[in-house]
């Protein structure tokens, strides 16, 4: 055989060798079985592109040096902030003895204790959230800290930008961290330029550059949504800096987006502050030293006890996942959950099925139309198992339900930035509030019941009767579930 024939076969030989080596790498990592099998199937049947895709997104890499830096920040910040707020805010006796084991798990995976004495306001209107946030920014005396995944460059986003510009102009320290991908349009906007000119410190989180793809996974995103004003007031939930006019670039006909946000006053604000400062130091390189100014003596305006649980690549990548699974197994009467993106792993699926089979009334409320069709199809592939076990599934038809909430036995409420999918549980930086307060849980449940009245139930009879081609496409999408 001539040399040019051998050279023609060389790329195929290299591809086979690299795919075998990548398959060995997948097996060596001992990742979740479903994820490993998906990658192995892809490596067997898709030449050339499969190992390139694995190289880009197969492992949750932040880069060795960046990951070491983040873990160091986590340890350092915990050591420097304990004396300032943890000892003064901790709840020594859990407010709900039936959920004490859940609180112990949350503390073990997050390093944050239950924090009592908080006043909460639940908001489900995008304009109201932005109006309240702008009012707090306009009243700020010392600092404004904001961290969001998406920031609209116009509309409500422009209004918040102008409020921060006013605050910075009167001497208030304003730090803003926005995800480099989710807020790409905002970072390039005139509003961002004006904020910087006024003195607002605006930093992109997890910037994406071509050379970083060689060392780290570029689709790991900072998906948190939080704001802290003067260390005394905080916001947390599913709403970005967006108003009711926001539409996804992927599917503009979906919407309006429907969210849930909590405004917090009390000692738990310090825990959210610590999450922000850690992320800020990681991406900006600035470590705040005057901690007394950012962690003022806490006041206790209310009675709600809160567990702040952050998660993401680092010391505890699956903190929220473990906490959610624990909650589902702790439920005795009722579970209601809302989420836009539903792609459960085996543990979450098993917990939901187990809860329903032991007599717990389990309800899932999901959007009827989603801006990510493949993700929606992968989620639908799990309906058979859930409906057979007695889980109630409803499709919300009045807008894109983006609120990520849960109530357990009308005793505990959850407001989070995390979806019920593998990406939120293991890849993105997320933030959840586990609220041990029956009054707040009842208020949140009332909001969930509103979502339910705007939804259409999915019955097992109608579901099994759907066209064969739909079943096939959903099941095909399920094969990609561990990769979504």
**The residue to which tokens 């880009």 are assigned:** 56
Query: Residue 226 — φ and ψ, nearest 5°?
Result: -155, 155
- Chain CA centroid to CA 376, Å: 17
- Quick one: CA dihedral 133, 137, 140, 146, positive or negative? positive
CA distance 386 to 388: 5
Contact yes or no for 231/296 (Cβ under 8 A) = yes
CA distance 319 to 325: 10
Alpha helices in 297-382 (DSSP H): 319-330, 346-357, 373-380
Contact yes or no for 127/258 (Cβ under 8 A) = no
Please, which residues have CB within 8 angstroms of residue 75's CB and are 6 or more apart in sequence?
none
Give the C-alpha distances (Å, rounded to integers) separating 88 from 91, 105, 298, 306: 9, 21, 8, 14
Size of the chain, expressed as the number of residues it contains:
484
Instruction: Please list the residues that pair with 175 across neighbouring strands.
Output: 145, 201
Neighbouring C-beta atoms of residue 316, cutoff 10 Å: 18
- Among 19, 294, 37, which residue's Cα sits nearest to residue 145? 294
CA distance 64 to 73: 14
SS3 479: coil
CA distance 277 to 284: 10
- Residue 2 CA neighbour count, 13 Å, CB half: 3
Q: Which residues of 463-480 are buried (b: 16+ CB within 10 A; e: fewer)?
A: beeeeeeeeebbeebbeb
DSSP label of 287: P
Q: Which residues are catalytic?
A: 223, 225, 230, 402, 404, 409
Contact yes or no for 266/299 (Cβ under 8 A) = yes
- Quick one: CA dihedral 455, 460, 466, 469, positive or negative? positive
């Amino acid at each position: 055989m001539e040399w040019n024939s051998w050279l023609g076969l060389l790329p195929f030989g290299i591809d086979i060798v690299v795919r075998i080596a990548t398959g060995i790498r997948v097996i060596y990592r001992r990742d979740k079985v479903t994820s490993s099998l998906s990658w192995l199937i892809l490596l067997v049947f898709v030449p050339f592109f499969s190992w390139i895709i694995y190289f880009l997104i197969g492992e949750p890499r932040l880069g060795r040096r960046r990951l070491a830096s983040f873990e160091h920040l986590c340890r350092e910040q915990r050591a420097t902030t304990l004396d300032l707020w943890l000892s003064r805010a901790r709840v020594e006796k859990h407010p709900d003895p039936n959920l004490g084991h859940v609180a112990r798990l949350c503390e073990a995976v997050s390093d944050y204790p239950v924090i009592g004495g908080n006043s909460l306001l639940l908001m489900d209107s995008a304009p109201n959230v932005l109006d309240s946030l702008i009012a707090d920014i306009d009243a700020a005396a010392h600092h404004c800290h904001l961290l969001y995944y998406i920031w609209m460059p116009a509309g409500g986003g422009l209004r918040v930008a102008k409020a921060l510009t006013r605050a910075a102009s009167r001497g208030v320290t304003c730090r803003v961290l926005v995800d480099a991908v989710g807020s790409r349009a905002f970072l390039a906007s005139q509003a961002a330029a004006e904020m910087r000119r006024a003195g607002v410190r605006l930093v992109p989180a997890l910037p994406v550059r071509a050379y970083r793809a060689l060392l780290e996974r570029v689709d790991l995103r900072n998906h948190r949504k939080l704001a802290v004003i003067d260390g005394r007031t905080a916001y947390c939930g599913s709403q970005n800096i967006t108003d009711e006019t926001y539409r996804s670039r992927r599917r503009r006909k979906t919407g309006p987006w429907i969210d849930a946000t909590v405004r917090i006053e009390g000692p738990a604000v310090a825990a959210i502050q610590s999450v922000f400062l850690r992320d800020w130091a990681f991406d900006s390189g600035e470590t705040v030293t005057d901690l007394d100014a950012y962690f003022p003596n806490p006041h206790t305006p209310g009675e709600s006890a809160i567990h702040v649980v952050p998660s993401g690549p680092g010391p505890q990548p699956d903190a929220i996942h473990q906490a959610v699974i624990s909650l589902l197994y702790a439920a005795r009467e009722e579970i209601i959950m809302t989420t836009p993106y539903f792609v459960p792993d085996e543990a979450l699926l098993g917990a939901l099925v187990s809860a329903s089979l032991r007599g717990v009334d389990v309800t899932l409320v999901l959007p009827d139309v989603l801006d990510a069709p493949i993700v929606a199809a992968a989620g639908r592939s799990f309906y058979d198992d859930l409906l057979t076990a007695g889980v109630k599934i409803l499709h919300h038809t009045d807008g894109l339900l983006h609120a990520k909430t849960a109530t357990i036995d009308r005793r505990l409420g959850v407001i989070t930035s995390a979806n019920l999918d593998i990406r939120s549980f293991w890849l993105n930086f997320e933030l959840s509030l586990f609220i041990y307060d029956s009054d707040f849980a009842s208020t949140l449940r009332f909001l969930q019941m509103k979502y339910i009245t705007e939804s259409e139930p999915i019955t097992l009879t109608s579901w099994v009767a759907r066209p064969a081609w739909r079943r096939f496409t959903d099941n095909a999408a399920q094969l990609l579930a561990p990769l979504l």
